[in-house]
Structure 1
């Protein structure tokens, strides 16, 4: 009589020697697995519920402003009627400061990450730089703003401007982009580098042609995450800019408007229930979400092209 027939006839679920145990597990391991699953579900809900609540509150209170054409075409110039007040000056200012910050931060972060992973891995200088990056990661935004104010405005005799604000935001963006880029470069298998070296390709060409394309999706994601963080910062803008109600594109002027400063100014004057507060908030959310979708689209198209 075969082992399966014996088990079926006598109801014995004990596996024979060398036979896989396909019965449902029980005991302490099952209990621990169930508790871990419950904790994971609870943690997920704790993360998702506040996010959904925040989006619902912002949309419910601020969506009305977005349906007015004047919101996207007019500024908050006092010469305009109240019904025609808009946020185009703040939208343009936010995008401009984000662009300037990215132009400064991304090359610094990418080159530093490449140096740490490809040239100085395991050396003392890499440990020192990594420690410095860890320290910068935890620096509050107000400290970065005060540092730039002390250096640019007080010491060098400069003025408050979008350039100075971008320098403060750069201090906050570089660690985020650098860390994500460093981790993505480490995930590239060494076999790809060795195969490139075996074909006689130089190190810098290997980095450009093999390492960076392989990790491009993660790098773009890190850049978007870093940009999303700095676009919502308020402290550097309050310290290094003066609020403006008109459209200005000159980054050297101290009078410059952004969505965070519009929110702060409107809240100070009218409270949290002011439509401008929630209109600017949902506009900022849309901009960040749009940047995320653009980055995902670019990365997917790039990966499809690489697959061909």
Structure 2
């Protein structure tokens, strides 16, 4: 019996060399992506270096974190931003107390309960709208509602309410994405054991996504702590300590920078850059704290 070449198995090469055209295309894409990253890093590093170089002399002074600017003349050296740091932390803390639970609950509803309901679609649409609202519009809304309609005085609490409008959509979006990452198999396994849905969310879903939720919350808080428009519209700047959220003017780090813009002396310039560097350090500390909390959470350490 004769055999032809058609009866013999065809052996193909296990590996074929990459063509020149593919190599050139891959190299070109790699170079373009690398250049894009470097170009994006240039202004970021430049800004950070400028703020550090100009703000470090003020931040390293002995009175920077222990004194306020109360009683100091514009050209007088010294003083500090203790009042501004305390004011920023108080306003951010009050804003977080309202924004974090509200944003997390809305995200849980959108992921776990809404489905394709009309209320879910309306909520998603409103969150998208709030995400693009400028800070000055949020401040004007709170001014019209809190001051004009309710007759309340301008205060730091009104500033926190305006910051809530800016922080909630960021918390909702970040928490929503983290909850979607949680595997559906974990939910179904919990349901199969007879665990109610609310307890599954509280004991399984949220702890699993806790690290990402905390990171998103800290990023949202870092965003609102640097806002200036609500401060200018809803409360005046005070160069002294004020712990009353409902009465009087209150200092803040952005307020220090705005107030010292009208001070052309060397002392004023140093305070501007020092307040800017202090705000950056505060945001960096919050982000580092969020990373540590997420890393050492109970779910991640198991």
TM-score norm. by structure 2 comes to 0.92
Residues 155 and 246 in structure 2, CA contact (< 8 A), matched pair in contact too: yes
**Match for residue 7 of structure 2?**
none
Distance in structure 2 (CA, Å) of the matches to 1:255 and 1:186: 43
Q: 2:221 aligns with which of 218, 227, 237?
A: 227
Alpha-carbon distance, 1:26 to partner:
2.3
Q: 1:45 aligns with which of 19, 29, 38?
A: 38
**Match for residue 86 of structure 1?**
80
- Name stretches of at least 5 consecutive residues in structure 2 with no aligned partner: 1-9
**Match for residue 49 of structure 2?**
56
**Match for residue 260 of structure 1?**
254
Whether 1:275 and 2:270 are equivalent positions in the alignment is: yes
Residues 54 and 274 in structure 2, CA contact (< 8 A), matched pair in contact too: yes
Residues 72 and 79 in structure 2, CA contact (< 8 A), matched pair in contact too: no
Structure with the larger helix share: 1
Question: CA 1:146–1:128 in 2, change beyond 3 Å: closer, same or farther?
Answer: same
**Match for residue 302 of structure 1?**
297
Distance in structure 2 (CA, Å) of the matches to 1:41 and 1:90: 40
Distance in structure 2 (CA, Å) of the matches to 1:103 and 1:96: 11
1:46-102 Cα shifts (integer Å, max 9, x gaps) = 221111111110111110011112111110011589333110000000011110110
**Match for residue 65 of structure 1?**
58
Alpha-carbon distance, 1:307 to partner:
3.8
After the TM superposition, which of the residue ranges 74-83 and 221-230 deviates more from structure 2? 74-83
- Name stretches of at least 5 consecutive residues in structure 1 with no aligned partner: 1-15
Distance in structure 2 (CA, Å) of the matches to 1:18 and 1:108: 61
Alpha-carbon distance, 1:45 to partner:
1.4
1:138-193 Cα shifts (integer Å, max 9, x gaps) = 10000000000001001110111111000101101011110010011011111000
**Match for residue 231 of structure 2?**
237
**Match for residue 125 of structure 1?**
119
Whether 1:287 and 2:279 are equivalent positions in the alignment is: no
TM-score norm. by structure 1 comes to 0.90
Whether 1:95 and 2:95 are equivalent positions in the alignment is: no
Distance in structure 1 (CA, Å) of the matches to 2:126 and 2:18: 51
Distance in structure 2 (CA, Å) of the matches to 1:113 and 1:136: 14
1:248-295 Cα shifts (integer Å, max 9, x gaps) = 111112310100011111113328970000000000000000000001
Distance in structure 2 (CA, Å) of the matches to 1:66 and 1:218: 32
- Give runs of aligned pairs for residues 168-207 of structure 1, distance below 5 A: 168-207=162-201
After the TM superposition, which of the residue ranges 228-237 and 271-280 deviates more from structure 2? 271-280
Distance in structure 2 (CA, Å) of the matches to 1:271 and 1:191: 64
Question: CA 1:77–1:32 in 2, change beyond 3 Å: closer, same or farther?
Answer: same
Question: CA 1:69–1:163 in 2, change beyond 3 Å: closer, same or farther?
Answer: same
Cα-Cα RMSD: 1.8
**Match for residue 29 of structure 2?**
36
Question: CA 1:234–1:271 in 2, change beyond 3 Å: closer, same or farther?
Answer: farther
Distance in structure 2 (CA, Å) of the matches to 1:174 and 1:283: 25
Distance in structure 2 (CA, Å) of the matches to 1:278 and 1:79: 18
